[in-house]
Amino acid sequence: MATATTKKTTTATTATSTIEKPETDSRIAEQANEIAELKAQIALLMKAQQASTQTVAVEPTPKKKKSITIINLFAGGLTVKGNSYYHFDKQFDKRAFSEAEATAIVNNMPNAAREGIFYITDAQFVEDNDLSDAYENMIDDVKMKTILSLDANSVLVLYKNASEAQKTIIENMIVNGRLNGEALDANVLVELGKITGKNYMEIETMDKEG
């Protein structure tokens, strides 16, 4: 009787093990898949991190050095001071300076820069050096060259809106023109003479008599 009971127990245990084994194998397989997926994800993350941390050495684009053109508007020779001295022999002579040297000239001669004794052609440079307001009514080199060939009304408008320094330049241009025998519009001479109190019509006669 005792022997029979032992056999039954063994059979039951074997049957239970047979049932549990497929379930265990299945769990092991699932865990293996999960681990494989985790490893793949980690590998992708590491690859992405490595790619993001890799920096490509980019050479900075060197700033192109530009030259700044300054034109002498003074009716005669003009010397300007930057880090050195520079001389313009006559009116409307021009010269190109490095941006640093042009800045030095503006800093050393702020009144000349704002009054229009010389003219800077680079608009961005003018803005960067806080000259925009002064340049709103400033007579540039092109207008100054042709001002005495304009009609009287146009000359008066430009003259009245000009700085004191540029008014003096216009007056000196008229005087020089008369002394050099240039044909100037009498209306310009008369109307401008009314404002300045000068008789430009007599300059040529006085010169001939002297």
The pTM of this model reads 0.67
Tens of pLDDT, residue by residue over 4-47, are 444 444 444 444 455 556 667 677 777 777 777 777 778 777 77
Residue 204 gets which letter from DSSP? H
In whole numbers, what is the pLDDT of the chain averaged over residues?
84
Question: Would you state the pLDDT for residue 112?
Answer: 97
> CB 133: neighbour CB atoms within 10 A?
9
What pLDDT, in 10s, does the model give residues 39-97? Answer: 777 877 777 777 665 555 556 665 678 999 999 999 999 999 999 999 999 999 999 99
- The pLDDT tens digits for 148-196 are 999 999 999 999 999 999 999 999 999 999 999 888 999 999 999 999 9
Amino acid 35: pLDDT: 79
C-alpha 186/C-alpha 45 separation (Å) is 87
CA distance 166 to 12: 119
